[in-house]
Chains A and B, each alone.
Chain A
Amino acid sequence: MRAAIIVFPGINREGDIGRALRQATGAEPATVWHAEHELPPGLDLVVLPGGFSYGDYLRCGAIAARAPIMRAVGDHAARGGLVLGVCNGFQILCEAGLLPGVLMRNSQLRFVCKMQHVRVENAQTPFTRRYAPGQVVKFAIAHGEGNFVADDDTIRRIEAEGRVAFRYCDAEGRVGDDSSPNGAINSIAGVFNDRFNVLGLMPHPENLIDPLVGGTDGRALFASLAA
């Protein structure tokens, strides 16, 4: 599998994503600077890592979403190529219109940085096929703007089409009004586009790939992509 990581100014998780991809694929991912206009040929996967692109100026991800490389990322997605956005990468994909909705300030106005259980809602996609349906996994979250919001029609469509990838839950997999750490509608932690080749999620699966550092629940996501 050929993967590329897009680097925007202010991104800081590109090293973690690179490590997770190397572990899963055995290959070195390409690194592409945001000011480029072209992606390397023959790519299967493009990853937009987490961080604070442009210092979160204007709105999180808003400036990065208009970077020159994003036209090529959009073309890659339109061809059916895989795109993964984590945390700030999720915000960028929403701002770029590649995913529905928007990530607003956490409802309790606090930056949350902790381990968080999420439930795998759809395990039949290129991103999640190595998980079991309904599997409860533990990922790290670290964000101030993870409050997923979309209009009622969009939420209904996302839910009806099985496009919720992960939902915040408790250790037993229960989802309730209080399971979202940021106020996200329906405890949505990650969503797919309508073709299931673009995924954005707030939690950091790339940080859960090593038993020395908290667990390995994130490995299956990268193994799914490499399979």
Chain B
Amino acid sequence: MKARVIVTLKPSVLDPQGKAIEGALKGLAVNGLTSVRQGKVFDIELDGEDHATARNKLGEACERLLANTIVETYAIEIA
């Protein structure tokens, strides 16, 4: 089974990297973008076919390592 975990900064947390990227895109005249925030994507392969089990396991992975929940949130997508 394949899954994707997306970790992003909480909306309340300042993202200076996203701001810098946003500035660079504006510099390239890629217009109409109102804001950019940067995150991380993890593509993960799992044993088994049960989605609920996979979701639990990935949730544990996020809570224990992939995300620092003080400043980040995560989303789990299972293919």
Residues of A near any B CB (own CB < 8 A): 58-59, 62, 66, 95, 101-102, 104-109, 149-151, 183
Mask, B41-52, CB within 8 Å of A = 1, is 000000000000
Could you tell me how many residues of chain B have their Cβ less than 8 Å away from some Cβ of chain A? 11
Smallest CB separation, A198 vs chain B (Å): 17
Q: Which residues of A contact B71 (CB under 8 A)?
A: 102, 104, 149
Interface of A: prevailing SS = loop
**Provided the pairs A58-B65, A62-B65, A66-B65 are in contact, do residues A150 and B70 lie with their beta carbons within 8 angstroms?**
yes
Q: How many A-B residue pairs have CB under 8 A?
A: 31
Q: Which of B32-72 contact A (CB under 8 A)?
A: 64-66, 68, 70-71
A151-B70 contact, Cβ under 8 Å, with A105-B16, A105-B17: yes
Listed in ascending order, the chain B residues whose CB lies under 8 Å from chain A are: 13-14, 16-17, 20, 64-66, 68, 70-71
Indicate if the CB atoms of B68 and A95 lie closer than 8 Å: yes
Smallest beta-carbon distance A86→chain B, Å: 20
**Distance A151 CA – B12 CA, assembled complex (angstroms):** 10
A102 and B14 contact, CB distance less than 8 A: no
Q: Note all chain A residues with C-beta closer than 8 A to B17.
A: 105, 109
Evaluate contact between A109 and B68: CB separation under 8 angstroms. Answer: no
A131 to chain B, nearest CB (A): 29
Contacts A105-B16, A105-B17, A108-B16 given: A149-B70 contact, CB under 8 Å?
Answer: yes
